[in-house]
Amino acid sequence: MIKNTLSNVMAATFCIELPNGKAGGMPTPAGTGFFISPEGWFVTAAHVVMDKKGYLRKDLDRAFLIKEQNAKDPKKICQYISPGPIFPGLDIALLKVDFEKNSDKEWLDKKTEFPFIKVSTGRLEMGDEVYSFGYPLSSYGIIKPGEIGYTKLSPRVTSAIISSNFDTNMGAKGPKNYVLDKALNYGNSGGPIIATETGHAHAICSRFQPLVVPQQHIKDNNGNPLPIMIPSLYGVVSSFNNKDIVGFLMSLDIPIEE
């Protein structure tokens, strides 16, 4: 059941806010991400933290990680974020959040580490149950330009099954993708795709439709695989089962399940 693992997933997953030029530089929701180690390694989709030209955003040091809040809980927020390695072909970016500099936050009082989700490189099969957690359709508003604004977060859980799994023709370093039987909305980008049974993150929400996939069994007049567009009612996500990513995580002793 999703409820068995959801509390940990929710604790480790945050909305990423980045400065928005259209809102006078105010940080506004840009996507989702989650901690994958107690020391503060954090993963999101590369396109969340890259500019339109494909470069890492220069204002990443002004980013915030925030969560929804109720009247009883202290405000959950993180700052002091630095870039780690980016894997544009996989649409995966790693960031590092400084625990010591954030340790004065009330929600981290008496804690010695960040909550985190274990990454798994195990292969999911068709029919496996998964779910996503993220901040789709979150919004913001301006009360007084340049001075006062607000953010409205919209945390959502989406249950799904693996509708298909396919590998690209790029070899061991190429992306391995899963197709879900549900679409994921803008704002889910960078959020975890969790195996319902274990609570481990096998993939991240990375791509939005349409996605064109070469079909090896259908050829054009030149003998090349004919690309077929996947309909927008499906979600396509990137697996962590990649040689470069696994090697980097292992070099940092980040917990990985197979």
CATH number at residue 166: 2.40.10.120
Rounded Cα–Cα distance for residues 69 and 211 (Å): 35
Question: What mean pLDDT is reported for the chain?
Answer: 84
- Of 4-13, 131-140, 212-221, give the range with the top mean pLDDT: 4-13
Question: Which domain covers residue 120, as residue numbers?
Answer: 1-251
Domain contains 69? yes
Domain contains 256? no
The pair of structure tokens assigned to 64 is 């915030």
Domain contains 257? no
Domain contains 241? yes
Whether the per-residue pLDDT at 168 is higher than 60: the answer is no
The helix (run of H) or strand (run of E) holding residue 44 is strand 41-44
Length, in residues, of the chain: 258
Mean pLDDT of 207-232: 67
* Cβ–Cβ under 8 Å, residues 246 and 256: yes
pLDDT of residue 182: 82
Whether the per-residue pLDDT at 227 is higher than 90: the answer is no
* Cβ–Cβ under 8 Å, residues 256 and 249: yes
Mean pLDDT of 48-63: 89
Look at residues 61, 25, 27 and name the one whose alpha carbon lies nearest to residue 146: 25
pLDDT confidence tier of residue 145, bands split at 50, 70 and 90: low
State the total domains in the chain: 1
Rounded Cα–Cα distance for residues 228 and 213 (Å): 5
Mean pLDDT of 17-39: 88
Q: Which one has a higher pLDDT value, 234 or 137?
A: 137
pLDDT of residue 230: 56
State the residue for tokens 């890492």.
Answer: 56
pLDDT confidence tier of residue 88, bands split at 50, 70 and 90: confident
Look at residues 108, 77, 239 and name the one whose alpha carbon lies nearest to residue 168: 239
pTM, full prediction: 0.84
